[in-house]
Structure 1
Amino acid sequence: MSQRLSHRLPRLLNMVPYFIANPGITKAEAAAELGVSVTQLTNDLNQLWVCGLPGYGPGDLIDLSFAEETVDVTFSAGIDRPLRLTSTEATALLISLRSLVEMPGTADPTAIEGAIAKIESAAGVAAAGGIAQAGRRPEAESPIAATVRSAVRRGRALELTYFSASRDAVTERVVDPVRIVLVDNNSYLQAWCREAAGVRLFRFDRIDAATELSEPAQAPADARDDTHAMDLFHDDDTLPQARLTIAPDHAWVMDYYPMSGEVVRGDGSIEASMRFGSLDWMARLMAGFGPGVRVLEPVELVEAVRARAVAALAAYRESADSTGTRVAGEPKSDT
């Protein structure tokens, strides 16, 4: 199994002190603790055999015994202690770990807090912060995040109660988990949705309930392709589609809502399409943009936006009449 050098080198440098601290450990046990296969561990040990001190003679190279089931170090070449983090490295690692605590589903918060405490104690970094953290009880992981993370780890299907922003509705569905991803500082469950028959991303803070099922997850092989991980706005062709004209000064709308088929006109306006699940929600959204976004189709959405605009003007006139305020665009009274 090939691995990037940046991932393998730290493990190689720490393996010698690891085996010195764990004499007689079996290759299977060591592989499990180091998070690699026995085959990869054997490849690493063979690599260490040709590493050592300058001169690189028989008395300079790291010497290990691993012909049998256990691994023993007979010559360490001076690598007797694990690598030490520099102050900058430790600080960066602590910042990353603390950010993970705020991301539900990525890891057990108790385990992260324990790692933070160990790093602060060993590296002596941010000592004041470490003292403050020591007396604080780690926040418990939410039951929903724990359930989702368990299903991903165990390869089990999930039953979700989920608020769909595109449909403006709460739905229930069974999904086959693939992985947990972080996108724009939010945690998402990437899963095969059986209802939609496609890969979808479910934001953790929109999952109202989660139940781990006894049946194994059965996501198709292509659903595990990494290219799906960033697919936040999957074009669901089962949803109705609105055709819009966006004014030049409202082009920012496209940064906040998933749109496709953009065409820039000569006057700078943009014609684009947007899927929606609820006619009422879409009409409310479009009416809020005023003249900045105009609906071209479908007809029922055009009529819904027009009805909202008429109702809003009527309510404004009624409010103005009750206070004696002139509505913009109306002529002044001579009386």
Structure 2
Amino acid sequence: MKDYELYELGDIVLQSGNTLPNTVLAYKTYGTLNAEKTNVIIYPTWFAGLHSDNEWLIGPGKALDPEKYFIIIPNMLGNGLSSSPSNTPSPYHQANFPLISIDDNVRLQHQLVTEKFGITKIALVVGWSLGAVQTFQWGASYPDMVERIAPFGGTAMTRPHAKVVFEGMIAALQADSAWQNGFYTQQPKAGLAAMGRVYAAWGFSQAYYLEQLYQQEGYQTLEEYLVDYWDQVFLSFDANDLIAMLRTGITGNISANPTFDGNFELALSKITARALVMPGSTDLFFPPEDNKYEAQHMPNAFFLPIESKWGHCAGIGQHEPDSAFIDKNLKMFLLE
């Protein structure tokens, strides 16, 4: 039994120029929209994430308290719930699914928020990883609507090194003979496991492995950790869905649209919302130096690294000290 709703958007012209027919956006809400429609928080999902994966940050007494706020989690296009390669009929099925941009995701989320709920003001947009890129995009695209943004563990533009890592993950998956150029009849499981092995090296820091911090997760040896966790982590996802989301990440850039015409610093300067930018101090995908540069070009940004050895995954809700840090600072941020 599904615990989310679908918003039907009809035929959508994407930024690429392709038309995606019968587009749907899966979403879940938490809490109650107040009469003034001013208690709204948008919390987009991330690569290989579903709305349920964001729920660690939601709850009574937490920063994202459903007793105070109306929280909307829109599922990223390509994640298997919203329109994706795995659920779109021919001719846009499987490997024929078109490129989805960050701008596409946020534009459709804006339609959901305004057309479905009649919302004109958003108290906070918050997100991790590719959810953070969407958070930056919300701030740049709708500055008069968004009061605060809090991107953590993600940048406003995917830098070349991260692109190389994402391409490596795709290449590892596609090396499986079952891949069949994206028109497989069964999931390429060996390729999915290989993708997990590639991600494992970048999801956490060097110190995480050197100090065997995976033992805190219950794995006694490195081999046990890799085989029992990382070789399994993507097996529940459709291969084309994962690639579609990675392609979105590879092209992630808040200025890659007609509004800013590739002028990245201009796009950053248009984020007038108060911004709390929280990178992981040892994040190898999205290093804090990139966020620091971005914050310097935003008029109302505060740069606050998450000091952690959990690397990129400091923002995924697995490590309680990191989760508590994020929640505490979001709570204070919402009071400003």
State whether TM-score is above 0.5: no
Highest relative contact order (Cα 8 Å, sep 6+), 1 or 2?
Answer: 2
| TM-score class normalised by the smaller sequence | under 0.3
Q: Looking at CA atoms only, which structure, 1 or 2, has the larger radius of gyration? A: 1
Greater fraction strand: 1
